[in-house]
Structure 1
Amino acid sequence: MNAARRGWLAGASWLALAGLAGCASTPRLDRQDASFPHPSPMSDQQAGEAAFLALGLVGTPYRYGGNTPESGFDCSGLIGYVYWQSSRIAPPRTVAQISRWGQSISASDLRAGDLVIFGSAGSPTHAAIHAGESRFVHAPSTGGTVRLNEFQEKYWKTRLLDFRRA
């Protein structure tokens, strides 16, 4: 096991406590929702590294509850892995928690490495990492792979809820 993976596993022990909820899971309200620590600010350099790392994971298989390149990713597992590797920030594990984590930002303030929240009827169901140039990296669905899409695609444009910054 390489040092980066050992660091991720050691630093992400919170995953065992948070449970393995996937992207489209029903929002759970538990002790971590109320008390999950908000991150210290991510520098522009760290955000750029997060976007670069996320782009390098395109093609990794989707797996519900997955949180490593070896096991595959679901959307929140991808975010957790990328943020930990690029800046040692451990985001919450569920999309519902991620949608309230950090700070909401406007589209005009968006930078590569920020988070993108998708859903319907105001309820978050999916999260991604902004890759720059109106594109995002995400782990979309069972049977798929981590991929790169654009905000302007009809499906995603109608589901865009928020941009968030750690």
Structure 2
Amino acid sequence: MTAQNHVPSLLSRAGTVSALTLAAIGGTMLAPGAVSEAEAAAPAYAVKALNVAAAKKGSPYKYGAAGPTRFDCSGLTLYAYKQAGKTLPRTAQQQYNKTRHISGSALLKGDLVFFHSGGRVYHVGIYAGGGKIWHSPKSGSVVKLDRIWSKSVYFGRVR
């Protein structure tokens, strides 16, 4: 048996474990109230924008609307970031043009996910972690959390 297989028994016998001991056996530890490294790296304004978007869950889609009760996709991102103290242009394409373009491996909560076809950006959402975005998808729908459904995406970080 490896040391990692003994982690639960070590913890239950000892009751507590030091960070050095946990590191030695290949575990990880967060202090109460701490956040993961990825979450800690996300700018506070991006996390706030993400929370604003999540709070709009169930708000109806309306083409051209930018809140506070109805949204299209870029209207939701514009509204959420405005509440977080950042200014974005109106359309998904304009928002993509204004963000700092990043790779998928650099993606943090609160970053923008842009869907594209033929080089044209047609949709945007706010990354929520775990391969999911908050977005306002289409007429007849509402603001909701969805999995990223396409590989034709770009990623942008609001500055």
Under a length normalisation based on structure 1, what TM-score does the superposition of the two structures give? 0.67
| Offset at residue 159 of structure 1 (A) | 3.3
Structure 2 counterparts to residues 47-66 of structure 1, below 5 A:
47-66=46-65
Residue of structure 1 aligned with 2:103, choices 106, 110, 118: 106
Given residue 52 of structure 1, which amino acid in structure 2 is its aligned partner? Answer: N
4+ residue runs over 4 A deviation: none
Whose radius of gyration is greater, 1 or 2? 2
- Partner Cα separation in structure 2 for residue 144 and residue 159 of structure 1: 22
Matched, 1:142 2:134: no
- Partner Cα separation in structure 2 for residue 138 and residue 66 of structure 1: 13
- Partner Cα separation in structure 2 for residue 108 and residue 158 of structure 1: 14
Given residue 78 of structure 1, which amino acid in structure 2 is its aligned partner? Answer: L
Provide, for residues 16-68 of structure 1, a one-character-per-residue CA deviation record: whole Å limited to 9, x for no partner: xxxxxxxxxxxxxxxxxxxxxxxxxxx61111111111111111000011111
Which residue in the other structure is 1:67 paired with?
66
Matched, 1:119 2:111: no
Q: Which runs of 5+ in 1 are unaligned?
A: 1-42
Provide, for residues 83-141 of structure 1, a one-character-per-residue CA deviation record: whole Å limited to 9, x for no partner: 0102x111010122112112100111111111110021221101111111211011110
Given residue 108 of structure 2, which amino acid in structure 1 is its aligned partner? Answer: R
Contact between 1:51 and 1:130, CA under 8 Å: does it hold in 2?
yes
Q: Give identity over the alignment, percent.
A: 38
The alignment of Structure 1 onto Structure 2 pairs a total of residues equal to 117
SS in 1 for 2:78: helix
Q: Which runs of 5+ in 2 are unaligned?
A: 1-41
